[in-house]
């Protein structure tokens, strides 16, 4: 059998046969009760659950490993209960070891019932309601899950063993196993809480599937071990002069030749496809970011989320999906994170366990490591398109209409101060990038960001980036410092990637003192909310200003708010284009120019709606005309649908 086949390619008969299986309502009246696990024990198990499981890590269980695993669990439970300040009796410790063994090698609280040959049915109605059918009689078991999340993890583990998927977009799984057992699982939003129903024969219906998953894990480990051996030998043989003055394609060819030589020396039989895969992986490890490179090259992937070395998710077309990509271990993942942040002069370690960074193409990176991240290093990458999106792209995506695009372009060229508001992942930075591209080429632009992400194509651009403190807590350069400095750089436009704190006051003062046409973004759910957030951020500057004075500054500085949102189907829309009119009493008055109205969803879950002008012409329309820009008055009355 070839190596890649051994790494997880299933034989034609391996896939479970799906069968229609409907959940049957159970009458639980007069069901015999068993003593329920007490709350104190459940709290102890829940408190140390994550730490114990993560300390053991991803394990491949063989029969001869069971004793070693029990011994390791005993040590880990002793240390974690001590760290948590818990005192447990020997009996409780024995029970914890048994529960965690079921968690690691099986399906947690229901594992004993799966192995009981007399039990023919297991019904989990909630995290604390597990019933079984024994010789035709239903009875309460008294067993409990830690919480709904714990039950959800077991359901996801079953789905993985079945080769199925269960999440909010596919919230139910019905399947028949080769031995005739039937499984029905449902999670929110289809059900109020996760439920699980298993009809089984005498033997554990999941044993064969779990064994096969373990074998795949074992073969994957063999592959990683072989790749690691070759990588170490390759690094030892590489010349320090290898990369100097050479293009990437030349480097890749040189690495390929060296890897092929090492593979021949290794003596492992590989077919052509396997050899090409191994060569590609080693090239990515030496010259790139290892397992992430394949995801970074995929144009359909917009975000990469590494929850741990063994769990990676990606966002494709607005939907989250699990990825088969994995790292060898946490040390491997940590090495990749350090490769990202080191060239930027930033660091990440126990004393500074969080970092924001960027890739060479401007993609945004956030990393957080233990002790803050309990499951090991965690990495999030928001990819940027190699070719920045244009306003035409946003129109094609349905983010806005042509009339809205013309209006926004006129506002930018007429030097109105604009704030782009929205939630996380709503597309604020992309929209800001598009707005910035509308600035005339003969103007001097100063951009200020935490991590440089804007991709401006104009010639006269100065990009500034903030800097965190060094290991001694010195040398920090905050966004606020850069905004103040930018005022002395004779900018025509100031573009701030995002305001989060006291820099909001300096930004507002700049807008009010001759730096018209400034652009920025902020986190908020509605146009009204961004005004409230700006008030809070101004107060964070440490200036004890009256609220009315702050609101007057805001209403005078900001002309337009563009509210962006990410809808439930993953699409991004401009939900509001709103004018800031000024003050009425102590309240800042707003006026919507364009709005997005959602009507519902279609059979595929896609949002149905339309962009609608409100029929109101903005009060700054004269400023647009004075700038020599002509807009058709009908754009504020005609309706465009998507």
Task: Please say whether the beta carbons of 452 and 381 come within 8 A.
Answer: no
Quote the CA–CA distance of 226 and 442 in Å, as a whole number.
56
Other beta carbons within 10 Å of 388: 17
Task: Give me the residues paired with residue 587 across strands.
Answer: 584
Task: Please say whether the beta carbons of 453 and 464 come within 8 A.
Answer: no
CA separation, residue 130 to residues 109, 126, 205, 363 (Å): 9, 7, 18, 46
Task: Please give the average pLDDT of every successive group of 10 residues along the chain, which has 642 residues.
Answer: 36 39 50 64 86 65 63 87 87 89 86 89 92 90 88 87 79 84 90 91 72 52 70 68 57 76 74 76 82 89 89 85 84 90 83 86 88 86 82 90 93 94 88 90 89 81 84 80 89 88 87 87 93 92 87 92 90 93 92 92 84 91 90 75 44
The pLDDT value given to residue 459: 86
Sheet strands side by side (includes 311-316): 319-323, 311-316, 301-308, 378-382, 364-368, 354-358
Quote the CA–CA distance of 93 and 195 in Å, as a whole number.
29
The pLDDT value given to residue 515: 83
The pLDDT value given to residue 332: 87
Domains of the chain: 17-211 (3.30.450.90), 215-382 (3.30.450.90), 391-636 (3.40.50.300)
Judged by DSSP in three states, 169 sits in coil
Q: Please, what sign has the CA dihedral across residues 268, 273, 276, 282?
A: negative
- In this prediction the pTM is 0.59
The pLDDT value given to residue 592: 94
Task: Please say whether the beta carbons of 322 and 343 come within 8 A.
Answer: no
The pLDDT value given to residue 367: 93
The pLDDT value given to residue 180: 80
CA separation, residue 284 to residues 116, 227, 297, 336, 380 (Å): 48, 12, 11, 11, 19
């Amino acid at each position: 059998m070839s190596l890649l086949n051994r790494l997880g390619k299933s034989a034609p008969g391996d896939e479970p046969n799906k069968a229609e299986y409907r959940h049957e309502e159970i009458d639980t009246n007069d069901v015999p009760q068993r003593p329920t696990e007490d709350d104190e024990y459940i709290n102890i198990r829940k408190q140390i659950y994550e730490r114990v499981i993560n300390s053991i890590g991803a394990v491949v269980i063989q029969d001869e490993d069971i004793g070693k695993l029990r011994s390791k669990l005993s040590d880990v439970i002793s240390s974690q209960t001590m760290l948590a300040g818990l005192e447990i009796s020997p009996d409780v410790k024995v029970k914890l070891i048994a529960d965690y063994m079921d968690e690691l090698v099986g399906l947690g609280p229901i594992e004993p019932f799966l192995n009981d040959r007399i039990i023919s049915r297991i019904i989990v109605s909630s995290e604390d309601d597990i019933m079984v059918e024994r010789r035709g009689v239903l009875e309460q078991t008294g067993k409990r899950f830690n919480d709904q999340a714990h039950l959800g993890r077991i359901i996801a583990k079953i789905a993985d063993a079945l080769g199925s998927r269960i999440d909010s977009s596919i919230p139910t799984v019905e399947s028949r196993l080769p031995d005739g057992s039937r499984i029905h699982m449902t999670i929110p939003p289809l059900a109020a809480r996760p439920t699980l129903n298993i009809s089984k024969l005498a033997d554990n219906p999941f044993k064969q599937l779990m064994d096969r998953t373990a074998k795949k894990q074992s073969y994957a480990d063999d592959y990683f071990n072989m790749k690691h051996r070759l990588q170490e030998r390759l690094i030892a043989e590489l010349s320090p002069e290898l990369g100097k003055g050479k293009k990437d394609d030349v480097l890749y060819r040189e690495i390929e030749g060296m890897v092929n030589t090492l593979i021949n020396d290794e003596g492992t039989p590989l077919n052509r496809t396997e050899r090409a895969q191994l060569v590609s992986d080693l090239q990515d490890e030496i010259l790139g970011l290892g397992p992430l490179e394949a995801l970074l090259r995929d144009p359909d992937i917009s975000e990469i989320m590494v929850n741990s070395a063994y769990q990676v998710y990606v966002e494709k077309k607005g939907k989250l999906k699990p990825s088969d990509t994995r790292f060898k271990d946490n040390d491997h993942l940590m090495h990749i994170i350090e490769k990202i942040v080191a060239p930027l002069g930033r660091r990440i370690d126990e004393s500074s366990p969080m970092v924001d960074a960027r890739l060479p193409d401007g993609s945004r990176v956030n990393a957080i490591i233990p002790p803050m991240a309990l499951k090991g290093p965690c990495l999030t990458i928001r990819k940027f398109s190699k070719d920045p999106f244009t306003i035409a792209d946003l129109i094609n995506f349905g983010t806005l209409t042509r009339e809205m695009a013309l209006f926004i372009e006129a506002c930018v060229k007429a030097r109105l101060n604009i704030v782009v508001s929205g939630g996380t992942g709503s597309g604020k930075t992309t929209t800001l990038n598009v707005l910035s591209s509308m600035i005339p080429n003969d103007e001097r632009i100063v951009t200020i960001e935490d991590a440089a992400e804007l991709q401006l194509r104009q010639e006269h651009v100065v990009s500034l980036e903030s800097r965190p403190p060094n290991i001694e807590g010195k040398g920090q350069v905050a966004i606020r410092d850069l905004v103040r400095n930018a005022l002395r750089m004779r900018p025509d436009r100031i573009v701030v990637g995002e305001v989060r704190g006291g820099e909001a006051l300096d930004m507002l003062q700049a807008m009010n003192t001759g730096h018209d046409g400034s652009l920025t973004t902020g986190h908020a759910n509605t146009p009204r909310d961004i005004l409230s957030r700006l008030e809070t951020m101004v107060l964070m500057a440490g200036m004890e200003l009256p609220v009315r004075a702050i609101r007057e500054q805001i209403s005078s500085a900001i002309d337009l708010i563009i509210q962006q949102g990410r809808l439930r189907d993953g699409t991004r829309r401009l939900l509001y284009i709103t004018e800031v009119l000024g003050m009425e009493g102590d309240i800042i008055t707003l006026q919507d120019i364009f709005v997005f109205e959602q009507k519902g969803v279609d059979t595929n879950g896609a949002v149905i709606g339309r962009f609608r002008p409100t029929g109101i012409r903005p009060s700054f329309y004269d400023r647009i005309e004075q700038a020599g820009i002509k807009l058709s008055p009908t754009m504020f009355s005609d309706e465009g649908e998507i």
